[in-house]
Amino acid sequence: MRRLGTIIRLLSAIAPALAPPPAARAQSGRYAPLVLQLPASTRALGMGNAWVAGRDHDVIFYNPAQLGVGLGLGVSVERYRSGSTLGTMSASTALGSGGIGIGVQMLDYGATTLFPSPIAALASEESSRSSSTSASLGVSTTVHDIRAGITGKYVEERSPQARGGRGAVDLGIAQDIWRGTLALSVQNIGPRLRLGDRRAPLPFRTTLGFAGGGLPVGPIDLGLTSAVSILRNGRVNPAGGLEAVFIPLDGWLIAGRVGARRTETRGESPLTAGASLGLDRLTLEYAWERIAAGATAHRLGARIR
């Protein structure tokens, strides 16, 4: 526990370095749709949203190569402000030497005249009038110990005035090394999204990361995850997190998580945190983040293995 405290203090100390530069404070966003720029997993959010090498049912949102590694079905919901709510559903199962998965992300948020919508729009108190949606289907396979996967998805952005949709593709590879997984994904490959007469690029990003777990420290098992993303504009976003798991009895799981990430907007906290309680096949998840304008968001999730 003392080690965990040290880690939290360390993350707090480096947090200012992860804060956005003044140049990042743009009024409108850079990319669309908005939903593809938000954390898609409750567990991942608690660890800085660094999940490219993750092993869970929701990896379809991060790296299709990991499909079939973590099996199950899960849902999550995150309330940003009274006007913005994100919901996700995902599932992954084994298929041959790989896996198959599906995922849906749906975001309702306050109306904005800006396109692409900025993440700050999530802090709006307005009732939901815009939406952002993504529906994905992915498969993976294993060749010579290397997993490779592809996800096809349809993304859509809606404003009160217009609606625009587009297909996109994610690619990923992963390999297990030294008690963990090293993974690379290239996400949101596709043409620009058009909404009315305005066009915006998809949030294309390349992410490299490592995740490992099961490191015993006393009665606790420690896991870590890390990722570095390079965005279309060359911006580099590092992120990482730690997970401490205590299993008092076979089938029971209590986990605490802490993470850090480079933020996009002022007022957003680089720190995230989360927890989960597992009872046999059911796990209840919670995560916390502070989004734009200092608004605090809570995310709840449930998954069944």
Partner 1 sequence: MSLNGVRPLALVALLSACTQPLTLSKDDSSVVLAHQLLAAPNPAEAGPFKVRTLTYGSGTDKQRRAFRDSVSLKTTPVDGSKLAAAPDPKQAKIRKSFFGFDFSKMPVNGRVWYPDGEGPFPLVLVVHGNHDMREFSDPGYAYLGELLASRGFILASVDENFLNGFIRNENDARGWMLLQHLKAWRGFNDSLGTPFTHKVDMQSIGLMGHSRGGEAVAVAAAFNRLPFYPDDATLRFDFGFAIKALVAIAPIDGQYKPADQPTPLENVNYLVIHGSHDGDVSSFSGLRQYERIRFTDGKPWFKSAVYVYRANHGQWNTVWGNMDNGPRSGRYLDLRGLLSSKDQQQFGKVYMGAFLEATLKGKREYLPLFRDHRVIGQWLPRTMYVTRFQDAGFRALADYHEDVDVTTGSVPGVRIAGESLSVWKEAVVPMRWKDSNFGHNAVWLGWNNHLAGADTTKMGPPAAYTVSVTDSVRTAWRVSAQSSVEFSLAPTSARPGPRKLKEDSSKKTASDSAATKADVSSGKKEAAKAAEDTVPMDLTIEVVDARDVTARLPLSQYGAVRRPLATHVLRRADREKRNFASTYEIVLQSYVIPLADFARVQPGFDPAAIRTLRFRFDRTPVGTVILDDIGISSLDPAFLIAAGSAPR
**Interacting residues with partner 1 (CB under 8 A):** 145, 216, 221, 247-252
Rounded to a whole number of angstroms, the minimum distance from the CB of residue 176 to partner 1 is: 9
CA distance 271 to 258: 7
CA distance 99 to 253: 25
Of 191 and 252, the one with the shorter C-beta distance to partner 1 is 252
Residue type at position 145 = D
Of 82 and 252, the one with the shorter C-beta distance to partner 1 is 252
Give me the residues paired with residue 258 across strands: 242, 273
Closest CA to 227 of 73, 103, 1, 51: 51
Q: How far does CA 154 lie from the centroid of its chain?
A: 18
Q: Are 16 and 101 in contact (CB under 8 A)?
A: no
Residue 16: CB atoms within 10 A of its CB come to 8
Residue 182: CB atoms within 10 A of its CB come to 17
Q: How far does CA 301 lie from the centroid of its chain?
A: 13
Rounded to a whole number of angstroms, the minimum distance from the CB of residue 177 to partner 1 is: 10
Q: Are 238 and 207 in contact (CB under 8 A)?
A: no
Rounded to a whole number of angstroms, the minimum distance from the CB of residue 278 to partner 1 is: 12
Rounded to a whole number of angstroms, the minimum distance from the CB of residue 94 to partner 1 is: 17
Of 22 and 216, the one with the shorter C-beta distance to partner 1 is 216
Closest CA to 208 of 181, 190, 189: 181
Of 159 and 283, the one with the shorter C-beta distance to partner 1 is 283
Rounded to a whole number of angstroms, the minimum distance from the CB of residue 83 to partner 1 is: 33
Give the H or E element holding residue 7: helix 2-14
CA distance 252 to 10: 30
Rounded to a whole number of angstroms, the minimum distance from the CB of residue 148 to partner 1 is: 17
CA distance 69 to 115: 37
Of 114 and 254, the one with the shorter C-beta distance to partner 1 is 254
Of 186 and 247, the one with the shorter C-beta distance to partner 1 is 247
Of 126 and 221, the one with the shorter C-beta distance to partner 1 is 221
Of 17 and 215, the one with the shorter C-beta distance to partner 1 is 215
Rounded to a whole number of angstroms, the minimum distance from the CB of residue 282 to partner 1 is: 14
3-state helix, strand, coil split of the chain in percent (to 5) is 15, 55, 30
Which conformational region is residue 253 in: left (phi greater than 0), alpha (psi within -120 to 50 degrees), or beta?
A: beta
Q: How far does CA 227 lie from the centroid of its chain?
A: 11
